[in-house]
Chains A and B, each alone.
Chain A
Amino acid sequence: MRLVAENVSRAFGPRRIFGPLSFATEPGRVLGVAGPNGSGKTTLVKVLAGLLRPSEGSVRLEGPAGARLSVHEAAGAIGWCAPDLSLYGELTPAENLEFFARVAGRPRARDEVDGRLASVGLDPRRLRSIRTRFLSTGQRQRLKLAYSVLSDPAVLLLDEPGSNLDEAGHRAVAAIVAGQRERGSVVLATNDPAELALADERVTL
């Protein structure tokens, strides 16, 4: 499945944040989005996720047979991890993942959820009774990464995925990007040169 952006731009009032931009993600490929602070990377990712409407242009998903879907019609096809993302502080990490899997119509067994937590370096046994709001910032970032690939999305949108992560956390990001290449595409918005090096092509804002 491809994520296609055509002449997309976004403005808040009279201030244009980015665009117009046109690009498409291809299965197995990583598209890097680079640009200085305030250039609109986070806004672009939100527009691609369908969380913000573009001021102009359109974003759509295209299936293998040319089927076109708006991003709203393709629930679960897009994974998202960003600094703005928050998970439920009063639920434990496993409860958070179980909840989001259930509402997306893809319930996960506890063992599978534990496996997802372990894949981002979180110890499911140690965190079984700890609410998310008591996790460290780095642990919460790892949980967000686990959430982003929970529905095995066709397109994974990562906005500053390595923020607040230690060395092992950065390796987990690289592993997630590598895993996503096998099932779809990645849009990676970051200022970190090491993360940008994972990209096959770049859009600079």
Chain B
Amino acid sequence: MILRAAAAVFVKDLRTEWRTRVAINALLLFAFSVLVLVGYAVGPTRLTLEDRPVVNSVLLWIVLFFSAMTGLSRAFVNEEETGTAAALRLSAPPAAVFLGKLLGNLALLGVVMAVVVPLFLALMSFGIAAPGLFLAVLALGGVGIAAASTFIAAIVAKTAAKGALFAVLATPLLLPPLVAAVTGTQIAATQPDLVAGLDAVRLLFAYDGLMVTASFFLFDAVWRE
């Protein structure tokens, strides 16, 4: 029943987003602006070959992190602002609401990644030596960002200073996976050997497991008054 209800929340959010395109437009516009700015200011030729993997890895995750900050907080803010949260609280099990919103944020971040990452790689001439490792780091990093953002969005949705509080809470919570994702991306760019990046993948996997599980169980207390 929880999974069916979660799927219903996910489909409802997708349908609403498809009809308004508020979050995806905000995310893509922000990501595209930063991408153009980075490409113009740094570009592929202004970096030495040695510096490229480090700087490009950091820049890529900065773009993804701030894009997430822009759009993923909307998951619960919309429900509170439009007054639909009360009906959702009364009708749906909290676990289903969390899972549905998490799936929605994952889909949103997935679309952003699918657009931003290839553009970034092309714009910065950023070569990847281990594509499998790179994809794993992207996927696990994305899950970590989406899980933490979803949970924090639920916390800040009822507050007055939503945007500021979201950034204040999200930054320390997202630093560990971001450091691991940057390290993993850097290794994927320089070493074709998958094993070299296993530590970063393990750390991201552990973080994701911890964040999803903790959020799932703590969500009930956050979602109710």
Main secondary structure of the interface of B (DSSP, over half): helix
User: Given A90-B20, A91-B15, A95-B15, are A51 and B225 neighbors across the interface (CB < 8 Å)?
Assistant: yes
Q: With contacts A52-B225, A90-B16 known, is A151 near B83, CB below 8 A? A: no
B224 near A88 (CB under 8 angstroms)? no
Chain B contacts of A18 at CB under 8 A? none
Whether A105 and B1, one on each chain, are in contact in the complex, defined by CB atoms closer than 8 angstroms, is yes
Q: With an 8 A cutoff between CB atoms, is B121 at the interface?
A: no
Count of residues in B whose CB is under 8 Å from the partner chain: 24
B-contacting 9-mer, from A74-82, A120-128, A174-182: A74-82
| A102, CB-defined interface residue at 8 Å | yes
User: Chain B CB within 10 Å — which of A51, A53, A131 has the most?
Assistant: A51
Categorize the interface residue count of chain A. 20 to 34
Q: Is A167 an interface residue (CB 8 A)?
A: no
In the complex, A50 has a CB within 8 A of chain B: yes
SS of A interface (majority): loop
A52: chain B residues within 8 A (beta carbon): 225
CA distance A89 to B83 in the complex (A): 10
Known: A85-B83, A89-B82. 16 other contacts (CB 8 A): A46-B86, A49-B90, A50-B89, A80-B86, A80-B90, A84-B86, A86-B86, A86-B87, A87-B84, A88-B82, A95-B15, A100-B91, A103-B91, A104-B5, A105-B4, A151-B91
Using a CB–CB cutoff of 8 Å, the interface residues on chain B facing chain A are 1, 4-5, 8-9, 12, 15-16, 19-20, 82-84, 86-93, 96, 224-225
In the complex, the 10 A-B pairs of residues with the closest C-beta atoms, listed nearest first = A86-B83, A103-B92, A102-B8, A103-B5, A90-B16, A104-B91, A105-B1, A90-B19, A100-B91, A103-B8
